[in-house]
Amino acid sequence: MSSPPPENGAARRWWVLAFQLPAQPAYARVKIWRRLQAIGAASFKNALYLMPATDEALEDFEWTLREVRGAGGEGLILDARAVQGFTDDEIVAIFDAAREEQYRAIAEEIRAFSARFERKRDAPSAEETAAQQARFDGRISAIEAIDFFQANGREQVRALLRELEPRNISVDTLGAEPPMQTEKLASLKGRTWVTRANVHVDRMASAWLIRRWVDPEAKFKWVVDRNYRPEALEIRFDMYQAEFTHEGDQCTFEVLMSRLELKDAALGAIAEIIHDLDLKDQKFGRKETAGVQQLLAGIVGSQPSDDARIERATNLFDDLYHSFGRAH
């Protein structure tokens, strides 16, 4: 999603992440580095990481900082309007250069794959072409999600990918199984579900899951305080110290499914999409991810009210669930 320009020529705002990690374990540094790469953070002087000052970017930095502290490190997030010695255009160029390199790398892979059609003995089958095209599409969509300033190369790589489409085939959708009703589900009825205001992907999907599989009459409460302490009959989700939130490499939607023992193929397909959109790690690479991302971005952009966003997202996820299998 692109970052909006500052108003009236004012300096851009940036989130700045500064942190330190202990020398051991070494894998923690690699994990944090990969996380920063996945969210599109720009390295500054090999000591700081920058992101445009958007709500989504702040959320990404907050989860990263949580991982830093979980690994025994320390850090903080700063709100800055200027970086000494650099203009906004120079900082934007750092972001663009990273995205352009990623676009070029995928473009080269697509050209190499297309060249196989000229070699009859090595020509890929229709099934292989469809699978590879879906993988390319997922990787490009992941880059587009962190292409904050519309770097060059995006249109070119999309054009190369479109050249593979006539060779593609349809992919069967998943069947669905009825969700399991458990004592855990029964104990969660009649509650108020609390999460952070200004809901985005994971919170929107989780709210839909709660309404459809846990409690059709569930009430939601949107709070600004990230350290909100729940009142009686309240349950928090997708926020720090919440009863249901990120665990390891699982987003909140996945945690809800796992802990509530919801076994449903169509829900599993949606969980894979939400995982890739929220964690930005391209773990599953489903071909539907880019379209869902675009629709959710449209809901967020057109609906300032969290209640309205949930209502619109509910219709979207209902239809998506139908497309993956039997309706709940």
Mapped onto helix, strand or coil, the DSSP state of residue 231 is coil
Q: State the pLDDT at residue 233.
A: 92
Q: State the pLDDT at residue 182.
A: 47
Is 204 found in the same domain as 301?
yes
Q: State the pLDDT at residue 2.
A: 58
pTM of the model: 0.63
In sequence order, the β-bridge partners of residue 244 are 237
CATH number at residue 71: 3.30.70.240
Expressed as residue numbers, the domain containing 187 is 183-324
Is 313 found in the same domain as 273?
yes
Return the amino acid letter for 213. W
Is residue 184 within 8 A of residue 261, CB to CB? The reply is yes
In a domain, 210, yes or no: yes
User: CA angle, corner 277, sides to 203 and 36, nearest 5?
Assistant: 105
The alpha carbon dihedral of 268, 196, 289, 62 has a sign of: negative
β-pairing, 14-20 vs 74-80, is antiparallel
Q: How far apart are CA 290 and CA 185, in angstroms?
A: 32
Q: State the pLDDT at residue 272.
A: 96
CA proximity to 32, closest of 69, 81, 76, 85: 69
As for how many domains the chain has, the answer is: 3
Q: State the pLDDT at residue 4.
A: 58
Cβ burial, residue 60 (10 Å; 0-12/13-18/19+) = buried
CA proximity to 310, closest of 203, 190, 191, 224: 203
Is 64 found in the same domain as 98?
no
In a domain, 187, yes or no: yes
In a domain, 4, yes or no: no
Q: State the pLDDT at residue 105.
A: 95
Q: State the pLDDT at residue 10.
A: 67
Q: How far apart are CA 302 and CA 300, in angstroms?
A: 6
Mapped onto helix, strand or coil, the DSSP state of residue 242 is coil
Domain boundary among 80, 105, 125: 80
List all residues 6 or more positions away from 74 whose beta carbon is below 8 Å from its beta carbon. 19, 20, 68
Q: State the pLDDT at residue 146.
A: 93
Tokens 């302490």 sit on residue? 229
- Whether omega for the bond prior to residue 25 falls within 30 degrees of 0, making it cis, is yes
Question: Tens digit of pLDDT per residue, the chain (328 long)?
Answer: 556 556 555 678 999 999 999 988 888 999 999 999 999 999 987 779 999 999 999 999 999 999 999 999 999 999 998 766 788 888 999 999 999 999 999 999 999 998 888 877 788 888 888 889 888 988 998 898 899 998 888 888 888 888 876 554 333 333 333 333 444 677 899 999 999 999 999 999 999 999 999 999 999 999 988 778 899 999 999 987 789 988 878 899 999 999 999 989 999 999 999 999 988 888 899 999 999 999 999 999 999 999 999 999 999 999 999 999 754 4
List all residues 6 or more positions away from 190 whose beta carbon is below 8 Å from its beta carbon. 215, 217, 233
Is 287 found in the same domain as 195?
yes
